[in-house]
Amino acid sequence: MILVATASGPVEGENAIVFGPVPSRRLGRSLGINNIPAKTCSYSCVYCQLGRTTQLITKRTPFYEPERILARIHEKVRQCRAKGQAIDYLTFVPDGEPTLDVNLGKEIEMLRPMGLRVAVLTNASLIDRADVREDLAKADLVSLKVDAASEPFWHRVNRPHRSLSLLGILGGMRDFSRSFKGELISETMLIDGVNDSEEEISRIAEFLKDLELRTAYIPIPTRPPAEKSARAPSEQVINLACQVMSTSLGRDRVEYLIGFEGDTFASTGDVETDLLAITSVHPMRREAVEHLLKNANADWDVVKRLIEERKLIEIQHEGHAFYMRRIRSRN
């Protein structure tokens, strides 16, 4: 799993076990834990920023000694605290799939005395196993990858190990969602022409509706992917995905991630900055933009200028105008 941030590229060895902290919209300042050697995964996603999977496996295995991982984290946390750097989450976000590590649950338990929240970003491919659900249940926050809800799209986007079953995975996510006491989020990476049809997005939204999600995120590839052909969809498609998912889940539970991690939601008092911050996460309807401008004693010229500067884009959807921050990777 890769989405909050990773060590720079596929690297091996103890030095790469801990990295960061890095800013993340979802997790604040996140200290990354790389508990899997590159690139060991049960998927070989077309968009993976670590390249193609070299060890495509589903067998849970011990990789690094949990005590060594813990020692590296202790050292890094001590360094951060000495520099006054805050850490909001210790996040398992390795160069592969974190639940392949058979010691994941033990490692989370060993981190507990540090008093920091623990997150796991998983592709959820092993979540039909009770032992994996038990390990994930120990975390404070779990992120599930749901890039597809039907077999053909799942194969095209995630290229799973042949022993995996999508039905089992979706069922495992439902079971986990019912029992998990922490915060659950999901990530649906949209790839141009691969899993971004309205039908598949609707199926994904229907599935997500049954999960107890805090937020369903819609990221797009913003870093070089495993396959050059894996590109971000257009702003129109992302807006459509947001509208479809918002209809199922509620607007407040859907956010896109288009390469502006770390932007703040807090009003800055500067209408241009606020408009760009909001539209980097949600599309805004024209009426909402007008309301924002009115409250700031500003006029529509702000929007016109941002469109001219290619920072904002206007999209028509079902008779309404929406405004979105322009995607950098498509410029």
210-222 burial, b at 16+ Cβ within 10 Å, e below that, comes to ebebebbbbbbbb
Can you tell me the distance from the alpha carbon of 167 to that of 256, in angstroms, rounded to the nearest whole number? 26
Give yes or no for residue 222 binding ligand SF4 (CB under 6 A): no
CB of 234 to ligand SF4, least distance (A): 22
Contact positions with ligand SF4 (CB under 6 A) in 164-193: none
For residue 41, state whether it binds ligand SF4 (rule: CB under 6 A). Answer: yes
Tell me the two tokens of residue 189: 């990476």
CB of 96 to ligand SF4, least distance (A): 5
Q: Which residues contact 217 (CB under 8 A, 6 or more apart)?
A: 26, 143, 185, 186, 187, 188, 255, 256, 257
Measured from the CB atom, the residue of 97 and 235 that comes closer to ligand SF4 is: 97
| Inter-residue contact 324 to 317 (CB < 8 Å) | no
> Binding to ligand SF4 (CB under 6 A): which residues in 76-135?
96-97, 123
Q: Which is nearer to ligand SF4, 143 or 280 (CB)?
A: 143
Positions 45 through 84 that interact with ligand SF4 (CB under 6 A): 45, 48, 50, 53
Residue 120 region by backbone torsions, left for phi larger than 0, else alpha for psi between -120 and 50, else beta: beta
Q: Per the structure block, which two tokens stand in for 219?
A: 């990221």
In angstroms, give the least distance from the CB of 34 to ligand SF4: 11
In the complex with ligand SF4, which residue's Cβ is closer, 101 or 274?
Answer: 101
Contacts with ligand SF4 by CB under 6 A: the residue count is 12
Residue 39 vs 326, nearer CB to ligand SF4: 39
- Report yes or no: 218 and 244 within 8 Å, Cβ to Cβ: no
Binding site for ligand SF4 (CB under 6 A): 1-2, 41, 43-45, 48, 50, 53, 96-97, 123
